Structure 1
């Protein structure tokens, strides 16, 4: 061998991303001038430089070159002890090549990068993001994964919950986000959240993301359903309230000519005559004669007046059969919707007076309590001739003003609220008053307006509204 080498120091330490130097001394032990070439070899050769790259020495002289080690701060620079070597080749004697070796220790470092893929997820019941964890350090990474959000709106199902990643490798963690409350209607809401990568002994690294929670039903569908329900209810109400407008052309012509087929006679109350007061003489008193023949006084007789005869309360046209009840204000008659028999709980309304058996406007006024009403008036029930049902109010007992009148099976007792009594007015017409409901009057809904198919109700009695009725026998 024509050379001698020495590494100073033989072992060195370097941090990734930094550099360190080692001196290589070389002596020419031959007898001729020679030139030596230096070439680093081994795993860390890419990070090793030699200056100068060649050295020319005379026999017996010594030269020095510097080895510079600069490992990068990446996972390629494996932490720990790494052997290195330098190949020295003499130009004159290539067969005498030598390779001195040394040891370089690279210190460990950790670097983690985490990323949500995608950063924003959407869903009604869950979201499924993935967390990519990259180990950019030069040592194995062990970490656990957890999730959190402000307000605790979400629950987290993370798999796997912990990872071990080799240097330069990456791992994917699957996360399932579930909202704790479902949005049934309305617009979407954003739920910010974070997934944390926790390593032992260091502060956790958080990655922010957003979960967009959608409503179960979109807002436009909720609006559509609301409008649809409103239209459906309106249709049903119109269908139930509809009554075909079937009229006789002859009747209309007569009305245009000012002729009515139902004359409205003015009912009158028959009042019993009141007898004149009669005076009756008192029986003469017997004369008394004193014992000693004294004269006695004659007793006087006085006249005693008999009590006045009281008026009998007129009951009007009761009972009555096959009559129509015509409202004085609206000129309409009490009617059952349609032309056939009514149904229990079916409404009672007013309509253009017909007075024939083809319609259902004929009523029987049947006395059920002779003299049982106020001022000895008769209590009666109002029975429809066609369906034999009676005018009634809901349930039993007194009902408030504006309660609708309908038909029901006849009861005829004061236990129900089907009994009425007539209250004659100075105009010659009648109030028809309900006995059970604080004597409220049979009324046409509204104030003096009426009209076809207007419901009949009970209301406070008045001569200025539409509560006066005529009891008419059709001719």
Structure 2
């Protein structure tokens, strides 16, 4: 082997979104001038910058190459120890390629994003929003979900009440909102509410939404019913307070009929006088 290598330090730690530098020392143990090309390998290779990427060394001399690790603050930068390697390829003797190995520990971070779909739900007896939860951190998310509001106007059913989400994944939580009092008539009412995502050791993340509770019957029907009831009440009151006078014509007709039916007596004529015969 015509090369000697050493990583300083062999293990390091880096925060997502930050950087950490490891120095690679190279020594040409051969007897000819050689140029060495350094190529990172492993899962962390997309996040590693090598400076300079090639180095030329005389026999018996030592040089250094800086490896800069810059994992992004995304779920792709998996938390925990991550082994890596650097392939050192000599130009004059490629068969003498060596791969020094090290370890980089990426620290965990938590970040979630939550959204109600839809933000506003409407209904007379219930509303059914969905809570979308995205795990933007690099560790598994374990949380519970519950509902709350300023007053005691709604009841909540949440399913599932507990979620576990892998890094870079999402989950949907179904919620059912029910008003404690039904609006039979009248205007619709806006009832703000919150769904809280509670993680261990952190403050809950509140997601605000609005439940628009509608009346059971539409306003025009309620108005029509009120007018109808008012007319009915007026009619009933008029019926009981007004007593119409009913005059019968039966008696005069009877009397008139009796007057017509009873004959009027006519004066009797004197009987005819007896005829007397004259004397003979």
Provide TM-score, normalisation by structure 1: 0.51
**Counterpart in the other structure of 2:131:** 131
What is the Cα deviation at residue 358 of structure 1? 5.3
- Number of positions where the alignment pairs a residue of Structure 1 with one of Structure 2: 253
The structure where strand makes up a greater share of residues is 2
The one-character-per-residue Cα deviations of 1:222-255 (angstroms, maximum 9, x if unpaired) are: 11122234445667788x79xxxxxxxxxxxxxx
**Counterpart in the other structure of 1:177:** 177
Q: Whole-Å Cα distance in 2 between the matches of residues 228 and 96 of structure 1?
A: 101
Q: Whole-Å Cα distance in 2 between the matches of residues 358 and 348 of structure 1?
A: 22
The reply to whether residue 349 of structure 1 matches residue 245 of structure 2 is yes
- Rate the CA distance shift 1:358–1:191 in 2: closer, same or farther, 3 A: farther
The one-character-per-residue Cα deviations of 1:252-286 (angstroms, maximum 9, x if unpaired) are: xxxxxxxxxxxxxxxxxxxxxxxxxxxxxxxxxxx
What secondary structure sits across from 2:77 in the alignment? coil
The reply to whether residue 119 of structure 1 matches residue 119 of structure 2 is yes
**Counterpart in the other structure of 2:278:** none
**Counterpart in the other structure of 2:228:** 228
Q: Whole-Å Cα distance in 2 between the matches of residues 183 and 233 of structure 1?
A: 25
**Uncovered stretches (5+) of structure 2, i.e. residues with no partner:** 255-280
The one-character-per-residue Cα deviations of 1:300-322 (angstroms, maximum 9, x if unpaired) are: xxxxxxxxxxxxxxxxxxxxxxx
**Uncovered stretches (5+) of structure 1, i.e. residues with no partner:** 242-345, 360-475
**Counterpart in the other structure of 1:143:** 143
**Counterpart in the other structure of 1:330:** none
- 1:1-400 aligned at under 5 Å gives the runs 1-231=1-231, 347=243, 349=245, 356-357=251-252
- Rate the CA distance shift 1:108–1:235 in 2: closer, same or farther, 3 A: same
- Rate the CA distance shift 1:106–1:358 in 2: closer, same or farther, 3 A: farther
Q: Whole-Å Cα distance in 1 between the matches of residues 145 and 213 of structure 2?
A: 23
**Comparing 214-223 and 92-101, the one that deviates more:** 92-101
What secondary structure sits across from 1:349 in the alignment? coil
**Counterpart in the other structure of 1:283:** none
Q: Whole-Å Cα distance in 1 between the matches of residues 89 and 253 of structure 2?
A: 134
Structure of higher RCO (CA pairs closer than 8 Å, 6+ residues apart): 2
Provide TM-score, normalisation by structure 2: 0.85
- Rate the CA distance shift 1:14–1:355 in 2: closer, same or farther, 3 A: same
The one-character-per-residue Cα deviations of 1:153-175 (angstroms, maximum 9, x if unpaired) are: 00001111111111111111110
The structure where helix makes up a greater share of residues is 2
**Over the residues paired in the alignment, what is the CA RMSD in angstroms?**
2.2
- Rate the CA distance shift 1:233–1:357 in 2: closer, same or farther, 3 A: farther
